[in-house]
Structure 1
Amino acid sequence: MTTEPIGADRYLCPDFPVTRCALRDGRMLTIRPLGVRDGDAEVAFLRALFPAPSRNRLLGLPIYLDASMAPDLLDADGVSRVVLGGFVGDRLCGVAQYGVDGPDRTCCEIATVVDAAFHGSGLAEALLEQLIHLAKARGLHHLYALELAEDHEAARLLHWFGFKSSPVPGDATLLRFCRPADPGT
């Protein structure tokens, strides 16, 4: 994995370097913070993932996605909410994000989603690794994710990164995955 610094004028997280690494199949992945100017790429990515309006509603997304929603989808300040994008060429293929949560502001909820064509490529692992690194650098001590109980792929990935799962009280369809940002804490 290689990194290069980026200027504060280009992205919301000026201290986060653009990261490049090879996926398992040899394709080059670029990970960088996303901002409002990436709205068209984000909307295209989500439309490809969730083409059925009824599925969008079930996932809490708007029924129809359009570019006017980009500011809301990518409303990140680079500190308490960060959105990282994984690009192969100019194509957005995966997104990882966190949002600070809790009264002490040391906890964050994370989420990662990857285009099905990139499952098993190492893209999700690369995104999650960078997200965890950034959360730790921001002083966030505890990370958690909510996943569908039937999503065994997400469970394997999160367990590989040291997350422990537990049922969500009152909702048998969800699991909560938790871990400290630094497993030594």
Structure 2
Amino acid sequence: MTTQSLSASDVIGPDTPRWSDTLRDGRQVTIRPIAASDGAAEREFIEGLSDQSRRFRFLGQTRRPSDAFIRQLTDIDYTHDVAFAAFDSADEGRIVGVSRYSTAQDGSQCECAVTVDDEWQNKGLGAVLMKHLIQVAKLRGIHRMYSVDSAENRQMHELAAYLGFRTVTDPDDASQVIHELTL
């Protein structure tokens, strides 16, 4: 696994940082910030997810995302929001996983999400994506990271526990959980 060290002064944009990571099955991915030019790849990624993976990611069905939604997911300001895409090193144009966060107004906390292509699940990609995201959040002085997920999403529960998140039932919706990490 190759990782790029970051410091608090590093600017995050469409070209930096960039990581090359080897997953448990030996496959390699290139991880970099997602860019507006990745819209078609993001659409293909979302549409290629299983119904269950789309439901877990968006807490509902989003089979065919609108153009506006794709722009929202790929045209990132990188001041309040960060989004990393993992690309299959054997097929540079194919997104196989995405992690992202969006900060609260005061910048002290952020909501995060991670999604991995069904074929690429259980290989460590979700953990790799989240570790890069957590690293950036810490460098930016974010104190709390959280994710709202379906209580049925066992893989996310296991990933959150592995990464040190604390899990509580959503007080507003018992069908959801909130994973929280103090940074």
Normalising by structure 2, report the TM-score. Answer: 0.84
Answering whether residue 40 of structure 2 is matched by residue 12 of structure 1, we say no
1:116 equivalent in structure 2: 118
Matches within 5 A, 1:11-30: 12=13, 16-30=16-30
Whole-Å Cα distance in 2 between the matches of residues 135 and 13 of structure 1? 17
Give the Cα–Cα distance (whole angstroms) in 2 for the partners of residues 84 and 61 of structure 1.
22
C-alpha distance 150-21 of structure 1, shift in aligned 2 (>3 A): same
Are the aligned partners of 1:20 and 1:31 in contact in 2 as well (CA < 8 Å)?
Answer: yes
The verdict on how the C-alpha distance between 1:50 and 1:69 changes in structure 2, with shifts beyond 3 A counting, is: farther
* Residues 100, 133 of structure 2: 8 Å contact kept: yes
Distance 1:51 1:151 in 2: 13
Deviation sequence 1:43-64 (CA, Å, 0-9, x none): 0000011569x969x7456563
Change (3 A) 1:158 1:31: same
Q: Which runs of 4+ in 1 moved over 4 A?
A: 60-63, 66-69
Determine the C-alpha separation between the residues in 1 that align with 2:115 and 2:77.
20
Distance 1:30 1:172 in 2: 37
CA distance in 2, matches of 1:128, 1:55: 20
1:109 deviates by 0.4
CA RMSD of aligned residues (A): 2.5
Unaligned runs of 5+ in 1: 6-10
Task: Tell me by how many angstroms 1:77 deviates.
Answer: 1.1
Matches within 5 A, 1:26-175: 26-49=26-49, 59=59, 64-65=64-65, 67=67, 69-89=69-89, 90=92, 91-101=94-104, 103-175=105-177
TM-score by length of 1: 0.83
Bigger strand fraction: 1
Identity of matched residues, %: 33
Three-state SS of the structure 1 residue aligned to 2:169 is: strand
Deviation at 1:3, TM superposition (A): 3.8
For the 8 Å contact 2:150–2:175, the answer to whether it is kept is yes
68 and 177 in structure 1: CA distance in 2 versus 1, 3 angstrom threshold: closer
